[in-house]
Chains A and B, each alone.
Chain A
Amino acid sequence: MVKREHLSLEMECLTLFQSNPYLFETIQGLEKRLGRKMSDLEPILESLTAQGILQRTGEGAMAYFRYKEPAVIAEFSFTSELEPL
């Protein structure tokens, strides 16, 4: 379930998008920016998208990724309904 060898690169991608919430990039663009092979990046972006951390827009070569903010409940209590804001 966790591909260990990918962990480091996965964290790198995560860090990148976390610190640049307004980064809109294609796989090719990320290849250039991170200096990592596209073939290595693909599964990672795939998985981050699947987990809802990234959001993919568009199709094919023009598909780009961006960071998706998690759901926040600012005032959570033990009894409140868990409907995110």
Chain B
Amino acid sequence: MIQSFDLIEELQEMYASQYGLTNFITDESGDIIMLAKGHNALFNLLLERGAVNEIIETVTKEFELSKTFFIDILPGVYACIAPVEGHPGYLLWSGVKMEPSSRDMIKNKIDHLIDDGDIDSILSQTPLFTLENKKEWLLSAKKAAKMISRLIGGGDSLFSEHLKVLQEAVKTEEGDVSRFLYSFLEKNSGIDFLGICEQRNDDLYEVSHAAGEEAKRIQGASFSPGESFLGRVLLTGEQAFWEEIEKDPKYTFFQHYHFYPKSLFCFPIQLRDGNLSLFFGGSRTSEVITDTVKDLDRNMAMLLEVVLSAESLRKENSGHLSRQSALADISMMLVSAPDLKKISYILVDISMSLVKGPFSAVMLKDSQKQKMMLVSRGDIKGEKGSYLKRAAKDYFTATSDLPPDRLVPSMKKLEGSSAIIECPLYFRGELLGLICTGTNSPVDQETEELLPFLQTLSLIAGVTLQLAGEGQENMMERKIEVLHSSIKEFDAEAYRIAEESVKIAREFTAELDISKPLIKNILIACKLHCFSHEYLAEMFPEAEFPKIVKDGTRVLAEDAAFKNEEQGIGSQIFALAVSYAKNEGDMEAVIARPYMKRIRQEFLSHLEDSKVVEQELPLEPESSHTMESKSVESTIKNHKNLSSREKEVLDLVIQGLNNKEIARELFISEHTVKNHLTKIFQKLDVPDRTQAISKVYQLTYNGSANP
């Protein structure tokens, strides 16, 4: 359960040394799961002599704890017990302090516990329990318990939930999409309906699956591209979130079916045949969509895409029955082992044993390290080795996105040797890994037949890799966050510097042409600037940012032995940001070193610029939603050829209303609406409604409002 012992220990230490208390954690059966930390001599003595065991047992068994409280371990000797939120039965104990007036009594009590007794010195070291510090103790214990609660498991539940859904997806033979919708719904409380829209023969779209109370009413509802909320996503091809949708004119689409959602999201999903489907959902109770829910929605869409594609692949290959059950087994194994190394073992073994060639190699990109891992079987020396390096370079250093035909397994004919199968592992267009498997013969039909199998495999491997990566990243991020917030508790000034330097570094790096992972590492370094790099390196052995802290600190410390070429741009930016924050924004005081003249200059001018920007743009920018509709509106308004009635009609079309609704809205007949539309199409030089809408968008975003 506990995933970061090291960090919890660290927290315990900090908490202990800050307040002179010893602390430990017990679980629901009263066992001490995190050993006592701290140098509170009296508490340590009592613990050592077993004098606290009974109390632990009683408190654990008899008390239903939801509040932090004090308990007298002996009369006049107090410990504080704080429940660890989210983990029933887990308690953080800290102590002890003593009542000044009970000193003599306590002395009597513990007399027999001490052999070589310096009771007086123990008692004089013990912090006092007073009315004044009572509250502070309570608060600090609560805070420490809260941080610990974040560190004890459970935090990546979203990730593991998704893994479960994926496992289910892989298991089903005949994919029943509705079941996934329902299992998503069950697991996610922020959303109460979900659905899928698919294209029909007549080019209209239809809500083909709908899950959730009342949402069933829209099952079977059809709409054209551009119509209402959902139709709009078909045009833009972009995901969309809508809040407080009841006020929107497009809402009539739902009202018509007596369905009343309050917020809505919709994602386009690209199918293998190139067609788009839509995945939508939302809430009937909440008008806003929080960021967490948005992330959730994105993840669901991503999983659904995999489910749908795997299903269509399965249908295409239904001939190879013997392979299907094998595939299901393999997929099960993949999704139950989201650990990069394990996944790569599985992939290399399977490709090897499928193809039965001389070698197979799996190369995986590690998103955090910008390095690769290579796992291989068979002989990959010499000729084959150089081929692998070339292939890796070819795929991984492609500057632009790979064309779709490079994302499927293919046969590569090498001169003077047998064919090699290259099978890229990708997710949502991002390349995550590559399998290269040698064959024993030139390209032949038998080998070609393996390709669809490999394709399905790579699809599932792709999403598994993605999830594994996220899992790791989640864990790291959580650790970082906890450390960061612990600074807040224990060193207000260091915290201020961290916050400030992160802010300035974020703004500054956005202007520079440096890679995203590097930016991320710089920001983390700033966040954790006050920890020693040794500690960080130990805590995050895989990460890059400890090195930035290390070098950056040397830059800051004016380490004379520190050479020009030794430090990277990352540590320089770190040093600049931290020194700026330390000096409370005094530009003069920003660190200057001979070897970083240029970057310092850029940094200073960035600071200048941002000051100006602040002065010029005192207003909050408007939300993108309103900005967008305004400009579309103005495109229509400024259109020279349209009559004002036509403008009105077009405006409503863009807003997603169908003909009937437009008629109702404008108090005219449907027939008249159609007439207006015909004229509009002529004037805009488009054949139909869909094109009309996209034309307006084109005009709006390409800026040429007047044709």
Q: Which of A19, A71, A82 has the most CB of B within 10 A?
A: A82
- Closest residue of chain B to A17, judged by CB? B349
Q: Are A70 and B373 in contact (CB under 8 A)?
A: no
- Closest residue of chain B to A80, judged by CB? B389
A59 within 8 A of B: no
Q: Are A78 and B377 in contact (CB under 8 A)?
A: no
Q: Are B356 and A2 in contact (CB under 8 A)?
A: yes
A42 within 8 A of B: no
B363 within 8 A of A: yes
User: Which of B326, B350, B376 is A71 in contact with, Cβ under 8 Å?
Assistant: B376
Whole-angstrom CA separation of A40 from B520 in the bound complex: 54
Chain B, residues 314-353, CB within 8 Å of chain A (1/0): the string is: 0000001011011001100100000001001110111011
B380 within 8 A of A: yes
Q: Are A71 and B389 in contact (CB under 8 A)?
A: no
Chain A, residues 58-84, CB within 8 Å of chain B (1/0): the string is: 000000000001111111111100101
Q: Are B323 and A72 in contact (CB under 8 A)?
A: no
- Closest residue of chain B to A19, judged by CB? B333
Whole-angstrom CA separation of A51 from B352 in the bound complex: 7
A15 within 8 A of B: yes
Q: Are B373 and A14 in contact (CB under 8 A)?
A: no
Q: Are B326 and A7 in contact (CB under 8 A)?
A: yes
Q: Are A48 and B389 in contact (CB under 8 A)?
A: no
Which residues 44-64 of A sit at the B interface, judged by CB distance below 8 A? 47-48, 51-53
Q: Are A52 and B372 in contact (CB under 8 A)?
A: no
Contacts of B86 in A (CB 8 A): none
Whole-angstrom CA separation of A59 from B320 in the bound complex: 37
Which residues 542-600 of B sit at the A interface, judged by CB distance below 8 A? none
Interface Cβ pair total, 8 Å cutoff: 100
User: Which of A53, A73, A74 is B349 in contact with, Cβ under 8 Å?
Assistant: A53
Chain A, residues 1-42, CB within 8 Å of chain B (1/0): the string is: 110110110111011001100000000000000000000000
> Interface range on chain B: under 10, 10 to 19, 20 to 34, or 35 or more?
35 or more
Q: Are B349 and A14 in contact (CB under 8 A)?
A: yes
Q: Are B371 and A76 in contact (CB under 8 A)?
A: yes
Q: Are B446 and A2 in contact (CB under 8 A)?
A: yes
User: Which of B322, B373, B378 is A52 in contact with, Cβ under 8 Å?
Assistant: B378
**Given A5-B322, A15-B333, A70-B348, is A76 in contact with B372 using a C-beta cutoff of 8 Å?**
yes
Q: Are A70 and B330 in contact (CB under 8 A)?
A: no
Q: Are A76 and B326 in contact (CB under 8 A)?
A: no
CB distance from B348 to the nearest CB of A (A): 5
Contacts of B352 in A (CB 8 A): 51-53
Whole-angstrom CA separation of A42 from B389 in the bound complex: 36
- Closest residue of chain A to B397, judged by CB? A78
CB distance from B419 to the nearest CB of A (A): 12
Whole-angstrom CA separation of A18 from B332 in the bound complex: 13
**Given A11-B326, A51-B353, A76-B363, is A70 in contact with B333 using a C-beta cutoff of 8 Å?**
no
Q: Are B372 and A4 in contact (CB under 8 A)?
A: no
Contacts of A53 in B (CB 8 A): 349, 352-353, 377
Q: Are B385 and A18 in contact (CB under 8 A)?
A: no
Q: Which of A70, A72, A84 has the most CB of B within 10 A?
A: A70
B375 within 8 A of A: yes
Q: Which of A5, A8, A72, A76 has the most CB of B within 10 A?
A: A76
User: Which of A11, A70, A77, A82 is B385 in contact with, Cβ under 8 Å?
Assistant: A82
Chain B, residues 282-314, CB within 8 Å of chain A (1/0): the string is: 000000000000000000000000000000000
Whole-angstrom CA separation of A75 from B346 in the bound complex: 19
Whole-angstrom CA separation of A18 from B350 in the bound complex: 10
B644 within 8 A of A: no
- Closest residue of chain A to B350, judged by CB? A14
B625 within 8 A of A: no
Q: Are A4 and B385 in contact (CB under 8 A)?
A: no
Whole-angstrom CA separation of A69 from B457 in the bound complex: 21
B29 within 8 A of A: no
Whole-angstrom CA separation of A52 from B349 in the bound complex: 9
Contacts of A11 in B (CB 8 A): 326, 329-330, 350, 353
Q: Are A51 and B371 in contact (CB under 8 A)?
A: no
User: Which of B320, B349, B371, B378 is A18 in contact with, Cβ under 8 Å?
Assistant: B349
Q: Are A84 and B376 in contact (CB under 8 A)?
A: yes
Contacts of B322 in A (CB 8 A): 4-5, 7-8
- Closest residue of chain B to A6, judged by CB? B322
Q: Are A1 and B348 in contact (CB under 8 A)?
A: no
**Given A51-B353, A51-B378, is A75 in contact with B345 using a C-beta cutoff of 8 Å?**
no
Which residues 352-392 of B sit at the A interface, judged by CB distance below 8 A? 352-356, 363, 371-378, 380-381, 385, 388-389, 392
Q: Are A51 and B377 in contact (CB under 8 A)?
A: yes
**Given A14-B350, A69-B345, A78-B392, is A1 in contact with B376 using a C-beta cutoff of 8 Å?**
no
Contacts of A77 in B (CB 8 A): 371-372
Whole-angstrom CA separation of A40 from B399 in the bound complex: 49
Whole-angstrom CA separation of A49 from B353 in the bound complex: 10
Q: Are A15 and B330 in contact (CB under 8 A)?
A: yes
- Closest residue of chain A to B444, judged by CB? A1
**Given A7-B323, A18-B346, A69-B345, is A51 in contact with B356 using a C-beta cutoff of 8 Å?**
yes
Q: Are A47 and B356 in contact (CB under 8 A)?
A: yes
Contacts of A73 in B (CB 8 A): 373-376
Q: Are B345 and A8 in contact (CB under 8 A)?
A: no
CB distance from B520 to the nearest CB of A (A): 20
**Given A47-B353, A82-B388, is A75 in contact with B323 using a C-beta cutoff of 8 Å?**
no
Whole-angstrom CA separation of A7 from B325 in the bound complex: 10
Contacts of B381 in A (CB 8 A): 82
Q: Are A70 and B375 in contact (CB under 8 A)?
A: yes
Q: Are A72 and B341 in contact (CB under 8 A)?
A: yes
Q: Are A75 and B373 in contact (CB under 8 A)?
A: yes
Which residues 384-411 of B sit at the A interface, judged by CB distance below 8 A? 385, 388-389, 392-393, 397
Contacts of B371 in A (CB 8 A): 75-77
CB distance from B437 to the nearest CB of A (A): 11
B601 within 8 A of A: no
Whole-angstrom CA separation of A53 from B350 in the bound complex: 10
B: which residues have CB within 8 A of A? 320, 322-323, 325-326, 329-330, 333, 341, 344-346, 348-350, 352-356, 363, 371-378, 380-381, 385, 388-389, 392-393, 397, 440-441, 446-447, 450
Nearest 5 Cβ contacts at the A-B interface: A76-B374, A82-B385, A11-B326, A73-B374, A76-B372
Contacts A1-B446, A15-B329 supplied; 10 other A-B pairs, CB < 8 Å: A1-B440, A2-B354, A4-B323, A8-B322, A11-B353, A15-B330, A19-B333, A72-B341, A72-B375, A82-B388
Instruction: Provide 8 A-B residue pairs closer than 8 Å at the C-beta atoms, listed in order of the A residue.
Output: A7-B354, A11-B330, A12-B326, A14-B350, A15-B333, A18-B333, A71-B377, A78-B393
